[in-house]
């Protein structure tokens, strides 16, 4: 499906997709050296289940910090493409980072938001995106002009290709269903740091 | 940066009249330890330090919207090979307990923090005076190394050694700028 010429794609007309399916599509597209920061909860679990990579960082506990951590990696390694994977609840907790990213304009940073309009892992309580908050509009308002909703899987692929190859910062939002994560991340923070730093070449 | 050269191991810093300002000493010591990234939520006491790192192209310095965000950026940058420090005031530190526990402490990421101390020695805002009491108990309960900087002649030694220890032991450290060092923020009636 192509983006409608008359009606822009928004949360109201984007197809509801599946997080694990989209995460697998993203991982398949990643350049080998691209770093990915997975936010807490199901976003993280699906990144883990989509195939462990030494360039993946699996965050535990510090809700909302996937985008700031990704920004830090992007600033430290401007030649490396860096992706933050977040949920709607997590991004809503740290919306200010969108303004900081827009201010710094890191060319190598992409944010991908999986929006199920709920705090799914705590019992499905609705987030503000369930009643009108539009994360793409918010990101554009913060100054991340290259922000878009994925209308469907094909468009998600196209947007992800752009975000991984062209100058950022980028934000891609996808509406997703309420399926739980496909598995659970092994919660061993020291091992996660060690593998990630070896993956980034900052530890021998 | 001759002045910021690390003190030879096992010796006390030589007592000498210190002519530099506290923020010049901090900036030079950060530089001598290759701390290039400075994230901050601004504060009046930190104004001179913030201005001087902005003026020096060695540093990448910018304001963040929240201290949590600023800490996450410093943590990510360290894993990517760039050392950083987060500057904030006491009330900002009070927003950090959860992310400190779950990110730098749990993941063993040496996050450097510098906190300008409000709430004591002449505080005029009761909210600052109250929240100040939570700072050292939070640092102590998380077993985060912290030092209160009160003297110009000890400043370089304490900052230099704290950065080196944080990096070597992969642990966060908090350096608290006392009004005894900086003059603090005073009430002008």
Q: Note the Cα A144 to chain centre separation in Å.
A: 14
- Read off the tokens for B61: 């310095």
Please report the ipTM that was assigned to this predicted complex: 0.96
Give me the residues of A, 33-62, that contact B with CB < 8 A: 35, 37, 57, 59-62
Tens of pLDDT along B94-114?
A: 999 999 999 999 999 999 999
CA dist., res. A202 & res. A96, Å (int): 29
Q: Residue A190: closest CA among chain B residues belongs to which residue?
A: B107
Helices (H) and strands (E) in chain B — how many of each?
Answer: 9, 6
CA dist., res. B170 & res. A69, Å (int): 17
First to last CA, chain B: 42
CA dist., res. A187 & res. A120, Å (int): 20
Instruction: Tell me which of B36, B69, B83, B96 to substitute to probe the interface with A (most A C-beta atoms closer than 10 Å).
Output: B69
pLDDT of residue A62: 97
Q: Residue A188: closest CA among chain B residues belongs to which residue?
A: B107
Q: Min CA distance, B9 vs chain A (Å)?
A: 26
pLDDT of residue B1: 42
Q: Note the Cα A117 to chain centre separation in Å.
A: 15
Least confident of B124-128, B168-172, B183-187: B183-187
Q: Min CA distance, A84 vs chain B (Å)?
A: 11
Radius of gyration of chain B (CA): 16
Reference B114, options B86, B150, B73; nearest CA is: B86
Q: Residue B170: closest CA among chain A residues belongs to which residue?
A: A190
Please give the torsion angle defined by the CA atoms of residues A135, A137, A142 and A148, in that order, rounded to the nearest 10 degrees. Answer: 80
Q: Note the Cα B123 to chain centre separation in Å.
A: 20
Q: Min CA distance, B96 vs chain A (Å)?
A: 10
B172 touches chain A (CB under 8 A): no
Answer yes or no: do B79 and A61 touch at CB < 8 A: no
Q: Looking at beta carbons, which residues of chain A come within 8 Å of B98?
A: 61-63
Q: Looking at beta carbons, which residues of chain A come within 8 Å of B78?
A: 72, 76
Confidence of residue A6 (pLDDT cuts 50, 70, 90): low
| CB nearest A100 (choices: B60, B64, B108) | B64
Q: Note the Cα B23 to chain centre separation in Å.
A: 11
Q: Residue A103: closest CA among chain B residues belongs to which residue?
A: B62
Is A4 a residue whose pLDDT tops 80? Answer: no
CA dist., res. B107 & res. A58, Å (int): 10
Q: Return mean pLDDT, chain A.
A: 96
Is A55 a residue whose pLDDT tops 90? Answer: yes
pLDDT of residue B17: 76
A92 touches chain B (CB under 8 A): no
- Read off the tokens for B24: 């010049």
Tens of pLDDT along B135-157?
A: 999 999 999 999 999 999 999 99
CA dist., res. B115 & res. B175, Å (int): 6
Mean pLDDT of B12-32: 88
Is A16 a residue whose pLDDT tops 90? Answer: yes
Instruction: Find tokens 């930190």 and name the residue.
Output: B46
Instruction: Tell me which of A59, A67, A71, A75 to substitute to probe the interface with B (most B C-beta atoms closer than 10 Å).
Output: A75
pLDDT of residue A73: 98
Q: Looking at beta carbons, which residues of chain B come within 8 Å of A193?
A: 79, 107-109
Mean pLDDT of B174-189: 90
Q: Min CA distance, A98 vs chain B (Å)?
A: 10
């Amino acid at each position: 499906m192509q983006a409608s010429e008359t009606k822009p794609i928004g949360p109201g007309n984007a197809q509801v997709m599946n997080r694990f399916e989209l995460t697998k599509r993203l991982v398949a597209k990643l350049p080998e050296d691209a770093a990915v920061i997975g936010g807490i909860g199901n976003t993280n679990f699906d990144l883990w289940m989509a195939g462990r990579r030494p360039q993946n960082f699996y965050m535990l506990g510090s809700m909302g910090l996937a985008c700031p951590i990704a920004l830090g990696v992007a600033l430290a390694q401007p030649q490396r493409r860096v992706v933050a994977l977040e949920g709607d609840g997590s991004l809503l907790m740290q919306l200010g980072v969108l303004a900081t990213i827009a201010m710094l304009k890191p060319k190598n940073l992409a944010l991908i938001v999986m929006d199920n309009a709920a705090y799914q892992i705590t019992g499905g309580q609705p987030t503000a995106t369930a009643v009108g908050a539009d994360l793409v509009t918010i990101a554009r308002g913060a100054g991340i002009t290259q922000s878009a909703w994925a209308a469907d899987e094909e468009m998600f692929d196209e947007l992800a290709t752009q975000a991984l190859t062209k100058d950022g910062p980028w934000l891609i939002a996808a509406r997703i269903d309420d399926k739980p994560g496909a598995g659970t991340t092994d919660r061993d923070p020291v091992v996660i740091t060690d593998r990630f730093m070896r993956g980034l070449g900052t530890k021998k | 940066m001759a002045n910021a050269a690390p003190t030879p191991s096992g010796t006390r810093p030589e007592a000498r009249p210190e002519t530099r300002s506290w923020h010049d000493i901090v900036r030079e010591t950060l530089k001598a330890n290759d701390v290039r990234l400075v994230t901050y939520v601004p504060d009046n006491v930190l104004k001179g330090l913030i201005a001087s790192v902005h003026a020096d192209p060695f540093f990448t310095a910018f304001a963040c919207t929240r201290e949590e965000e600023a800490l996450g950026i410093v943590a990510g940058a360290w894993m990517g090979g760039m050392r950083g420090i987060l500057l904030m005031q006491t009330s900002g530190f009070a927003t950090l307990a959860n992310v400190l526990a779950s990110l730098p402490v749990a993941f063993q990421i040496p996050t450097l923090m510098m906190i300008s101390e409000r709430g004591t020695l002449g505080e005029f805002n009761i909210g600052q005076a109250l929240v100040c009491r939570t700072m050292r108990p939070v640092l102590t309960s998380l077993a985060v190394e912290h030092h209160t900087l009160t003297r110009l002649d000890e400043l370089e030694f304490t900052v230099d050694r704290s950065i080196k220890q944080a990096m070597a032991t992969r642990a966060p450290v908090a350096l608290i700028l006392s009004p005894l060092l900086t003059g603090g923020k005073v009430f002008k009636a």
